[in-house]
Amino acid sequence: MTFTTHTIDREKLKRLADVAVKVGLNLQPGQELVMTAPVEALPLVREITEAAYEAGASLVTPLLSDDEVTLARYRSGTSDGFDTAPGWLYEGMAQAFEKGAARLAIKGDDPALLAGRNPDHVGRAAKAMSAASRPALNHIANFRINWNIVSWPGLAWARQVFPHLAPEAAQAALADAIFKASRVDQGGAVEAWRAHNATLAERAAWLNGNRFDALHYTGPGTDLTIGLADGHAWVGGETEARNGVICTPNIPTEEVFTTPHAERADGYVRATKPLSYQGTLIEEIEVRFEGGRITEARAASGENVFRTLLDNDEGARRLGEVALVPHRSPISDTGLLFYNTLFDENAASHIALGQCYAECFEDKTLSKEEVAQRGGNSSIIHVDWMIGSAEIDIDGITADGTRVPVMRSGGWAQG
């Protein structure tokens, strides 16, 4: 198999691998690494594998996927088969995590891969996959392990972001955008990430110091109040996993985030960017919350897939994360729509439906039952979508009703 890589700066690719291992994972000597990636990203897989072994990894196990293999299922698979997912695979991954393995995911798939495919099949396959992956997802959502996500400039993805460029030029342009957003476009990338993580920690500390009880969002199509979980904690950038390893889960990241209360979201909100979910582009989402639950939902495109997403389980209609991102972030400043949640969520404030992060509490040792008692949501899914823009204002509301400006016109109100 050959790869179109001569348009991609190999030195910057090595830097990305170095950041993924040293900053993203903070991989420990003797630790195993389980890595998933599209087969097209094999050059980055190789660089990360090399960096991981240099850092002392005991074993690196890559699991590769392929778009054509995925499409073959939708072209020729039986209808009954779309309720099937490889639970055995995720049970094996969960066993590896229980024994101390780290987790790294490389994203770079075609965001429109399943566009035009039978939406019932797409929705059922996604639901089956969400249920099957729960054993592994629990380790990630509860921060039991150190984990990280980085991206590869997939050719189909690049052509969607840069439709007016020739394929190789589009891939080169996307690679440059990924490298810049990931802070590996220049030397000293590891040091740059340490400085950036310190800035995010300052933002989280300010939010934690205010002890807001709720956030109120206002703007075009949006008037939404989100209550925050009891004893919640804001985190951003690097965080300490329950295994004691300090890691930076998302490369890139511009967010500070926490756990909302599953029963305290009321009002309506309009998405400010499309959501790319399981190969389907869902555009112009609008929902209404009552008592923490989505009671009305629509989308201009991909609505059937979105509704199937909401029907995964009871927790799928409730919030598991609320994240604040300044509109003038480096990713937003590119002016690009990446059609990729990892990037687009770091261009705008966002919320996530589904599973909450147990890490986002002052007490990091809470049981599943204790997290639920404090308002943390539980679900087989965790799906982020963007609700921030230059037209959105956010106020923090304290327990006594005092309102404090948090964001104005999409930017931090407190300097």
Tell whether the model's pLDDT for residue 1 goes beyond 50.
no
- CB-based contacts of 88, cutoff 8 Å, min separation 6: none
Closest CA to 285 of 265, 266, 258, 304: 304
Chain-centroid distance of CA 165 in Å reads: 27
Q: Percent of the chain having pLDDT more than 90?
A: 80
User: How far apart are alpha carbons 157 and 160 in whole angstroms?
Assistant: 5
Task: State the number of CA atoms in the 13 A half-sphere of 258 facing the CB.
Answer: 27
Contact 384, 354 (CB under 8 A): no
What's the helix, strand, coil split of the chain in %, to 5? Answer: 35, 25, 35
User: How far apart are alpha carbons 120 and 125 in whole angstroms?
Assistant: 8
User: In this predicted model, what pLDDT tens digit does every residue of 247-265 receive, in sequence order?
Assistant: 999 999 999 999 999 999 9
Sign of CA dihedral 57, 241, 86, 341: negative
User: In this predicted model, what pLDDT tens digit does every residue of 330-375 receive, in sequence order?
Assistant: 888 888 889 888 898 898 999 999 999 888 999 988 888 999 999 9
What is the residue-averaged pLDDT of the chain? 93
User: How far apart are alpha carbons 215 and 127 in whole angstroms?
Assistant: 30
User: In this predicted model, what pLDDT tens digit does every residue of 172-231 receive, in sequence order?
Assistant: 999 999 999 999 998 899 999 999 999 999 999 999 999 999 999 999 999 999 999 999
User: How far apart are alpha carbons 351 and 269 in whole angstroms?
Assistant: 10
Residue 382 tokens read as 């965790």
| Other C-beta atoms lying within 10 Å of the C-beta of residue 208 | 16
* pLDDT band (50, 70, 90) for residue 145: very high
Question: DSSP state, 355?
Answer: P
User: In this predicted model, what pLDDT tens digit does every residue of 17-51 receive, in sequence order?
Assistant: 999 999 999 999 999 999 999 999 999 999 999 99
What's the chain's length in residues?
Answer: 415
Domains present along the chain, CATH in parentheses: 10-181 (3.40.1830.10), 211-233+255-412 (no CATH)
Closest CA to 31 of 112, 199, 147: 147
Strands 411-412 and 293-298: unpaired
The pTM of the whole model exceeds 0.75? yes
Look at residue 332 in the predicted model and tell me its pLDDT: 86
